[in-house]
Amino acid sequence: MVEELPSVFLVGPMGAGKTTIGRLLAKQLGRTFVDSDWYIESQTGADIAWIFAKEGEAGFRERETRAIDELTQQPQIVLATGGGAVMAAENREYLKHRGIVIYLNAPVDVQMARTAKDKSRPLLQQPNPRKILQGLYSARDPLYRQVAHIIMPTGHTYPRHMVNQLLQQLNTFCASTSISAEPEKD
């Protein structure tokens, strides 16, 4: 029996394009798009920078785990997670077992270029963001790989082209597990 495509979860470092690609992918699949950072902001009534400033990273991570638990239980969504969502073991369990996980893997140079002008990421608001990104990449790359069903390099590929590649990858993955990756017909 052919099952429906489950929810799709995007993981990867800051600047990999999770939010951008997730939104486009959801549109192509006819799915609802949710970004865990936006969800946390709407639940809290404050932005990510404010949460880090008032509650520290630990406070943000608690909120993030609640959000990942809730959102990974929503059926048939496309979810863009924040770059640190894979750090908690329970988040990794939720992601890995409740949907198809795509790791958008961007080199540090690309992460740097894409995050340089954006002040909304508290972890990078300091003199040497490259060093931070390198450290995070070393620590988190094995965790992204641990949860991923599909690994997609992102560098110089336009978002629309990336989405087409992802749809192909999803089809291949689903064919191997008897899941339908076709958008639902009205």
Ligand X SMILES: Nc1ncnc2c1ncn2[C@@H]1O[C@H](COP(=O)(O)OP(=O)(O)O)[C@@H](O)[C@H]1O
Ligand Y SMILES: O=C(O)C1=C[C@@H](OP(=O)(O)O)[C@@H](O)[C@H](O)C1
Q: Where are the alpha helices (DSSP H) in the chain?
A: 18-29, 36-44, 48-71, 89-98, 108-115, 129-147, 159-177
28 lines the binding site for Mg ion (CB under 5 A): no
26 lines the binding site for ligand X (CB under 6 A): no
What is the phi/psi pair of residue 92, to 5°?
A: -60, -40
**Which residue in 17, 22, 83, 129 binds ligand Y (CB under 6 A)?**
83
DSSP-derived 3-state class of residue 130: helix
48 lines the binding site for ligand Y (CB under 6 A): yes
Q: Which CB atom, from 29 or from 34, has the smaller least distance to Mg ion?
A: 34
User: 66 is written with which tokens?
Assistant: 């609640």
The window from 68-76, 91-99, 120-128, 158-166 that contacts ligand Y (CB under 6 A) reads 120-128
- Which helix (H) or strand (E) is 9 found in, with range? strand 8-11
**Which residue in 19, 65, 134, 171 binds Mg ion (CB under 5 A)?**
19
Between CA 23 and CA 163 the distance in angstroms is 10
**Which residue in 17, 22, 84, 129 binds ligand Y (CB under 6 A)?**
84
Number of residues engaging ligand Y in binding (CB under 6 A): 11
What is the phi/psi pair of residue 80, to 5°?
A: -95, 120
Q: Which CB atom, from 139 or from 175, has the smaller least distance to ligand Y?
A: 139
**Contact at 8 Å (CB) between 13 and 137?**
yes
Q: Which CB atom, from 5 or from 24, has the smaller least distance to ligand X?
A: 24
Q: Residue with the closest Cβ to Mg ion?
A: 19
Residues that bind ligand Y (CB under 6 A): 14, 18-19, 37, 48, 82-84, 121-123
